[in-house]
């Protein structure tokens, strides 16, 4: 029987399941696959405050952390939600109640649809709609003027050329499909 030179057995047991493991590893491969040591790895990258748990590991340009979980790189808040909640989330998003992208506190996270994510973004004032949008040609005063002129019978084509937008844009404003 030949021994693998890179693998030394010891009488060390996996802290999760009790199986014998190599001296090089902190847990057996089955427990790693199941993510049982993920909680410990997560806490190694977290600064816990009274409210948010701040992710101190690597982040993207928007501030969301990255974490290696169950064989792939994922966002840290999503991994945190999956580690602390047993409910499978599938294709749902993991959203922040605190609107802090660096937070991985599972009490601040909830699963939601893309529509929930957009609604949350608008309600918290983080969206670039209306006059906040960088390419906006109108503001709320001009929109109010367009609606007032429309009630007086002004032509949508004339208003469109005056305000530098398309006639269909004026129509959507007048019928409250935009700038509501």
Report pLDDT digits (tens) over 80-89.
Answer: 999 998 888 8
Residues in contact with 164: Cβ distance below 8 Å, sequence separation at least 6, in sequence order: 137
Q: Are 120 and 111 in contact (CB under 8 A)?
A: no
Rounded-to-integer distance, Cα 177 and Cα 149, Å: 17
- pLDDT, tens only, 114-169: 999 988 888 887 777 777 777 888 988 999 999 999 999 999 999 999 999 999 99
Report the top-level CATH class of 45-123.
alpha beta
The pLDDT tens digits for 54-95 are 999 999 998 999 988 877 889 999 999 999 988 888 899 999
Q: DSSP letter at 3? A: P
pLDDT at 11 over 70: no
Q: Which letter does DSSP use for residue 2 in this model? A: P
Q: Which DSSP category does 106 fall into?
A: G
Tell me the domain boundaries of the chain: 8-36, 45-123, 130-174
User: Global pTM?
Assistant: 0.60
Q: Are 27 and 16 in contact (CB under 8 A)?
A: yes
Cβ proximity of 50 and 71 under 8 Å: no
């Amino acid at each position: 029987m030949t021994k693998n030179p890179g693998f030394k057995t010891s009488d060390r047991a996996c802290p999760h399941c009790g199986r014998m493991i190599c001296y090089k590893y902190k847990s057996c491969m089955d427990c790693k696959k199941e993510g049982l040591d993920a909680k410990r790895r997560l806490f190694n990258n977290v600064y816990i405050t009274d409210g948010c748990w701040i992710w101190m590991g690597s982040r993207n340009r928007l501030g969301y952390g990255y974490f290696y979980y169950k064989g792939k790189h994922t966002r840290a808040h999503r991994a945190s939600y999956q580690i602390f909640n047993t409910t499978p989330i599938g294709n749902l998003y993991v959203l922040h109640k605190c609107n802090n992208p660096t937070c991985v506190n599972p009490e601040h996270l909830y699963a939601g649809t893309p529509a929930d994510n957009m609604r949350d973004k608008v309600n918290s004032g983080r969206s670039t709609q209306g006059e906040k949008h960088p390419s906006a040609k109108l503001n709320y005063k001009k929109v109010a003027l367009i609606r007032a002129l429309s009630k007086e019978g002004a032509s949508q084509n004339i208003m469109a050329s005056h305000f530098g937008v398309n006639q269909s844009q004026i129509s959507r404003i007048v019928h409250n499909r935009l700038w509501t």
